């Protein structure tokens, strides 16, 4: 059926062919008779590759027997062959035989073994070969292997696929899932009944995402399966986004315990990445779980195991606690009932065809079949009937790589005397049995091969039963076509098909290793994946009794009002920064400033308007000035009332009634302004503020200035002549005062014209560091400068008035009000000198509005009170309490004033006599020789009434 290699030589590179020829020659020259392969006779032979043994340690190619991956799967192939051979419809009249080899889970060893499959295709020169008795040997024609079932590990399949494609032998794997085997140009004769790991990686990404994990580590066995699987996971997760790989670790081929300990230590370096994707072979998974136990980290890691973990018990035997919670993946399959019956009925007696079965038996029942058995960990004997002779012993011994086993049956060989004993033990009764997860795929793979051969036979041998000549010579290429086009319902009813790359569709079952109600751990199906993920999260259990899905994230989500500051190069890791001050959380990663009239809400997720405040009547800042103002208004009203009532009495007349009323009006306005300043700002109030702010003071100081100026002029004039100066009549004084006031009014008028009054909300004034305390201040559209300008004119009048007061300080006391005016002005100046720094010093304060309003109003109240108290209270006192003094004494002529002025001038030139420059009694005595006491009270009120 298969091409003679020599005849087809043009297809092969010479060098490769030569190497293979050399290897085969070595094989032929080294005859060993250990039962290292299973041979089942048939019309057509299928090759089988199974990891019957684990990888050996310390130079040994093979290690311990693998009960599930090895024996279960191998028996599945034998079972499938039995089924096909007994099926009258599938390959009728054709018996399928097999040559089954052990790969010892090692690619290099499997390569040597699989040369067996190509022997029949290589013509051998055996002319030199002689038996020990000198006769030429009779070679049994090596069987032609039409197709190979296997292998398990991807690295083994890749290695074997390379050689099988040279000889055009189709291969169907039941477990190799590495993505690179999908490359139909490099592995064109390779097909598989399991999906490639690109699907598995996608399923893992979907699980990780559904669990809300974004920070995971990966662990891979060195080689195509682990490394390429993790690579696929990383690529898909990168494309999907939102998953970061904390660590990507590799388990070396030749590992030691320390390697696993180191891996666990490294995983713990990023302990927040609790989820660990593990694409590793059984032994490596055991190593990792063991190391996690040694590190006392049972329950810390959330394992996501690939198909090689699947639902295998052997992988986690003795490490159950460390595996609790692990989520594992297995290509979608179902238990093949028929196989269970077949396998559990296998005994040493009825399963002689399986050369490794005795070894399995010992391992499975933990007993020794004979004392020379190599099983060391027990001395218990298996139950045996009768005697048997097993030659070199039951334990499998692999030949060293250089002495390849000879699977050919050579007639002259020393017969291997196998005497099988029947054990009383029964699989599934005396030992735990659960069908291995890939048994279904082994059966499906064998059936796929059988169906392909069946279809091929029907096509090539239409009128013949059995293998016809055309089929014999059809070649592997043709068979491959038939394999790729099969479509049938597999052992569990699911359809078996291959895509153009020879892959099966991606369908998976998802398991979780859980404790059941009886506290016995087991794998529980928790969902499935077929393009999309279906996971029953409520059926999942987590290690350490955690009730909620454990987290595996680099950083916890930020609290509301905090932004993520992503760590460079790690989109899943971030620091949380609060959006503080006037910032609010704009989106996940940024804060923004609220608008000028807004402040952030309590959790900084948005902005809200800043509350608006104004000076309230009940505020302590308002109460004090209002109280003072009220007192002042009462006092002023009282003084006014008194003056009006006693309008024609000498004291009132002598105090210059007209200007007194003007001055009292100014004082009154100074008090009134307090209310205007505190009232809620609106356009009317703001207009009043503009008008009255400076007006009260302006009126007061205009009147006082007029008075002091008049006194000054009179005395100055008095020094020079006896004629009175001009403009000293009440009318003139009123005119002067009015013209002074009109300047202020004109200014205000211009101000109104240039900048009409308005209210504003000042958000800067109370923009406190703590936005909770921020306030918008409702106020009139009057700047500090405008206030000062408005008051400036009055201050100018006040200063001028003070200068005149100083100049007239030497005027005799009894010359009218020069002295009290002087005191009034000094005090007022002090008040306003104190006002200026307070007013401007608090410009930056959050309490500015209150402080400034209060100081301004208090200053006004004080200066008004000083004027009222100093100038009018004594008069009112005399008017009310000493009416006997409120009588016309005499009128002083200007001449008398002039004399007094001259005297004053003279005296004032003797400062040594009167250090403060005051002329007192002498002058009084001059002008009024009557009693001094009477003069003090009387004269001063009657002076200068002209
Ligand atoms: N899928 C694995 C691989 O490709 C083998 C898993 C198994 O043998 O169960 O190497």
In order, the DSSP letters of 287-344 are HHHHHHHHTT-TTT-EEEE-TTTTT-SGGGTT-HHHHTT-EEEEES----HHHHHHHH
CA of 330 to the centre of ligand 1 (A): 10
Cα 460 versus chain centre, distance: 65
Q: Evaluate: CB of 828 within 6 angstroms of ligand 1.
A: no
CA of 226 to the centre of ligand 1 (A): 9
Q: Which of 67, 151, 174, 175 to mutate to test the pocket of ligand 1 (most atoms within 8 A of CB)?
A: 175
- Measured by CA distance, the residue closest to atom 6 of ligand 1 is 308
DSSP H helices, 348-397, are 357-365
Burial 287-314 (b: 16+ CB within 10 A, else e): bbbbbbeeeebbbbbbbbbbbbbbbbbe
pLDDT at 36: 80
pLDDT at 889: 59
Q: Which of 67, 173, 177, 201 to mutate to test the pocket of ligand 1 (most atoms within 8 A of CB)?
A: 177
Calculate the average pLDDT of the chain: 83
- Measured by CA distance, the residue closest to atom 10 of ligand 1 is 153
CA of 495 to the centre of ligand 1 (A): 21
Burial 38-74 (b: 16+ CB within 10 A, else e): bbbebebbbbbbbbbbbbbeeeebbbbbbbbbbbbbb
Place of tokens 């406190």: 768
Q: What is the rounded CA–CA span in Å between residue 60 and residue 382?
A: 27
pLDDT at 201: 96
Q: Which of 223, 225, 282, 445 to mutate to test the pocket of ligand 1 (most atoms within 8 A of CB)?
A: 225
CA of 220 to the centre of ligand 1 (A): 12
What is the position in ligand 1's atom list of the atom closest to the CA of 173? 4
- Measured by CA distance, the residue closest to atom 8 of ligand 1 is 152
The helix-helix angle for 620-645 and 873-881 (nearest 10°) equals 50
pLDDT at 90: 94
Q: Which of 149, 157, 307 to mutate to test the pocket of ligand 1 (most atoms within 8 A of CB)?
A: 307
CA of 331 to the centre of ligand 1 (A): 11
Q: Evaluate: CB of 853 within 6 angstroms of ligand 1.
A: no
Strands 44-50 and 145-149 come out as: parallel
Q: Evaluate: CB of 103 within 6 angstroms of ligand 1.
A: no
The encoded tokens of residue 311 equal 């639902």
What is the position in ligand 1's atom list of the atom closest to the CA of 178? 4
Residues of the chain with pLDDT under 50: 1-15, 22-35, 386-421, 814-815, 904-946
pLDDT at 254: 83
Q: Evaluate: CB of 225 within 6 angstroms of ligand 1.
A: yes
- Cβ atoms of 99 and 116 closer than 8 Å: yes
DSSP secondary structure letters along 100-126: EEE-TT-HHHHHHHHHHHHGGGS----
pLDDT at 26: 44
Q: Evaluate: CB of 307 within 6 angstroms of ligand 1.
A: yes
CA of 149 to the centre of ligand 1 (A): 14
CA distances (Å), origin 170, targets 118, 191, 192: 12, 8, 11
pLDDT at 43: 93
What is the position in ligand 1's atom list of the atom closest to the CA of 194? 1
- Measured by CA distance, the residue closest to atom 7 of ligand 1 is 308
CA of 411 to the centre of ligand 1 (A): 38
CA of 736 to the centre of ligand 1 (A): 114
CA of 219 to the centre of ligand 1 (A): 15
CA of 294 to the centre of ligand 1 (A): 27
What is the position in ligand 1's atom list of the atom closest to the CA of 223? 10
What is the position in ligand 1's atom list of the atom closest to the CA of 153? 10
- Cβ atoms of 887 and 878 closer than 8 Å: no
Strands 145-149 and 53-55 come out as: unpaired
- Measured by CA distance, the residue closest to atom 4 of ligand 1 is 176
Burial 223-243 (b: 16+ CB within 10 A, else e): bbbbbbbbbbbbebbeeeeeb
- Cβ atoms of 44 and 415 closer than 8 Å: no
Q: What is the rounded CA–CA span in Å between residue 95 and residue 40?
A: 10
SS3 178: coil
Using alpha carbons only, what angle is made at residue 594 by residues 592 and 599, rounded to the nearest 5 degrees?
Answer: 130
What is the position in ligand 1's atom list of the atom closest to the CA of 312? 9
What is the position in ligand 1's atom list of the atom closest to the CA of 306? 1
DSSP secondary structure letters along 332-356: S----HHHHHHHHT--TTTTTT-TT
pLDDT at 278: 96
Q: Evaluate: CB of 69 within 6 angstroms of ligand 1.
A: yes
Q: Evaluate: CB of 438 within 6 angstroms of ligand 1.
A: yes
What is the position in ligand 1's atom list of the atom closest to the CA of 152? 8
Q: What is the rounded CA–CA span in Å between residue 66 and residue 363?
A: 9
Q: What is the rounded CA–CA span in Å between residue 674 and residue 680?
A: 12
CA of 111 to the centre of ligand 1 (A): 17
CA of 155 to the centre of ligand 1 (A): 9
Q: What is the rounded CA–CA span in Å between residue 171 and residue 146?
A: 9
Q: Evaluate: CB of 153 within 6 angstroms of ligand 1.
A: yes
The encoded tokens of residue 240 equal 């999907």
Q: Evaluate: CB of 175 within 6 angstroms of ligand 1.
A: yes
Q: What is the rounded CA–CA span in Å between residue 18 and residue 562?
A: 71
pLDDT at 943: 40
What number of other Cβ atoms are within 10 A of residue 945's Cβ?
A: 14
**Number of helices (H) and strands (E), helices first, in the chain?**
26, 29
């Amino acid at each position: 059926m298969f091409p003679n290699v020599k005849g087809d030589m043009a297809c092969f590179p010479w060098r490769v062919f030569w190497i293979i020829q050399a290897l085969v020659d070595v094989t032929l020259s080294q005859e060993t008779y250990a039962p290292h392969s299973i041979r089942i006779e048939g019309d057509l032979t299928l090759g089988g590759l199974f990891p019957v043994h684990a990888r050996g340690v310390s130079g040994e190619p093979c290690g311990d027997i693998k009960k599930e991956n090895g024996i279960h799967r191998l028996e599945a192939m034998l079972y499938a062959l039995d089924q096909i051979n007994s099926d009258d419809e599938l390959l009728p009249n054709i018996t399928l035989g097999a040559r089954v080899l052990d790969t010892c889970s090692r690619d290099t060893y499997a390569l040597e073994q699989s040369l067996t499959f190509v022997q029949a295709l290589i013509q051998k020169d055996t002319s030199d070969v002689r038996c020990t008795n000198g006769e030429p040997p009779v070679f049994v024609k090596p069987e032609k292997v039409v197709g190979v079932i296997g292998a398990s590990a991807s690295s083994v399949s890749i290695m074997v696929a390379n050689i099988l494609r040279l000889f055009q032998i189709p291969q169907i794997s039941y477990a190799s899932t590495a993505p690179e085997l999908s490359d139909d140009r490099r592995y064109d004769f390779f097909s598989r009944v399991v999906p490639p790991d690109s699907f598995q990686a996608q399923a893992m990404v979907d699980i990780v995402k559904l669990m809300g994990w974004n920070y995971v580590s990966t662990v891979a066995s060195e080689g195509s399966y682990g490394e390429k699987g993790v690579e696929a996971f990383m690529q898909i997760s990168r494309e999907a986004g939102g998953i970061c790989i904390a660590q990507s670790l590799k388990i070396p081929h030749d590992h030691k315990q320390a390697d696993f300990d180191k891996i666990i230590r490294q995983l713990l370096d990023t302990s927040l990445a609790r989820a660990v994707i593990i694409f590793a072979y059984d032994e490596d998974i055991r190593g990792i779980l063991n190391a996690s136990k040694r590190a006392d980290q049972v329950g810390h890691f959330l394992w996501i195991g690939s198909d090689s973990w699947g639902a295998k018990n052997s992988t986690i035997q003795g490490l159950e606690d460390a595996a609790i919670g692990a989520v594992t993946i297995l290509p979608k399959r179902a238990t093949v009932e028929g196989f269970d019956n077949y396998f559990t009925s296998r005994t040493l007696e009825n399963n002689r065809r399986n050369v490794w079965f005795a070894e399995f038996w010992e391992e499975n029942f933990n007993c020794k079949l004979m004392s020379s058995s190599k099983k060391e960990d027990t001395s218990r004997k298996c139950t045996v009937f009768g005697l048997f002779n097993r030659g070199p012993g039951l334990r499998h011994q692999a030949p060293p790589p250089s002495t390849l086993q000879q699977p050919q049956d050579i007639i002259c060989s020393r017969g291997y005397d196998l005497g099988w004993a029947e054990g009383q033990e029964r699989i599934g009764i005396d030992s735990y049995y659960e069908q291995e997860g890939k048994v279904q795929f082994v059966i499906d793979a064998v059936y796929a091969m059988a169906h392909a051969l069946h279809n091929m036979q029907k096509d090539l041998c239409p009128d013949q039963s059995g293998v016809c000549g055309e089929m014999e010579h059809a070649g592997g290429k043709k068979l491959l076509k038939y394999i790729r086009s099969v479509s049938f319902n597999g052992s569990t009813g699911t359809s078996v098909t291959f895509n153009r790359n020879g892959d099966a569709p991606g369908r998976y079952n998802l398991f979780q290793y859980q404790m059941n109600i009886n506290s016995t751990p087991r794998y529980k199906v928790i969902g499935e994946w077929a393009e999309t993920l279906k996971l029953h999260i409520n059926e999942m259990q987590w290690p350490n009794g955690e009730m909620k899905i454990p987290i595996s994230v680099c950083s916890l989500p930020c609290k509301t009002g905090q932004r993520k500051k992503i760590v460079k190069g790690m989109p899943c890791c971030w620091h949380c920064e609060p959006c503080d001050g006037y910032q609010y959380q704009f989106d996940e990663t940024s804060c923004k400033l609220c608008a000028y009239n807004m402040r952030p809400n309590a959790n900084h997720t948005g902005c809200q308007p800043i509350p608006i405040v104004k000076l309230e009547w009940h505020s302590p800042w308002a109460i004090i000035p209002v109280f003072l103002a009220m007192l002042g208004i009462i006092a002023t009203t009282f003084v006014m009332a008194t003056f009006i009532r006693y309008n024609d009495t000498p004291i009132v007349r002598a105090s210059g009634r007209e200007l007194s009323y003007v001055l009292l009006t100014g004082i009154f306005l100074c008090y009134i302004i307090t209310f205007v300043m505190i009232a809620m700002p609106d356009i009317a109030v703001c207009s009043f503020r503009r008008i009255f702010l400076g007006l009260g003071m302006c009126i007061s100081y205009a009147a006082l200035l007029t008075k002091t100026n008049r006194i000054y002029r009179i005395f100055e004039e008095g020094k020079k002549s006896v004629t009175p100066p001009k403009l000293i009549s009440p009318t003139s004084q009123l005119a002067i005062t009015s013209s002074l006031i009109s300047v202020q009014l004109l200014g205000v008028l211009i101000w109104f014209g240039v900048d009409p009054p308005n209210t504003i909300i000042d958000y800067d004034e109370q923009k406190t560091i703590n936005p909770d305390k921020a306030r918008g201040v409702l106020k009139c559209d009057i700047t500090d400068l405008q206030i000062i300008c408005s008051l400036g004119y009055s201050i100018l009048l006040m200063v001028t008035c003070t200068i005149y007061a100083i100049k007239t300080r030497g005027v005799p006391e009894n010359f009218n009000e020069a002295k009290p005016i002087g005191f009034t002005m000094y005090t007022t100046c002090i008040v306003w000198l104190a006002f200026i720094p307070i007013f401007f010093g608090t410009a930056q304060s959050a309490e500015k509005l209150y402080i400034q309003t209060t100081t301004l109003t208090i200053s006004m109240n004080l200066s008004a009170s000083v004027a009222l108290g100093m100038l009018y209270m004594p008069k009112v006192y005399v008017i009310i309490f000493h009416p006997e003094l409120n009588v016309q004494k005499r009128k002083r002529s200007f001449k008398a004033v002039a004399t007094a002025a001259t005297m004053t001038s003279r005296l004032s030139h003797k400062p040594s006599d009167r250090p403060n420059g005051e002329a007192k009694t002498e002058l009084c005595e001059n002008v009024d020789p009557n009693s001094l006491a009477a003069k003090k009270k009387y004269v001063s009120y009657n002076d200068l009434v002209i």
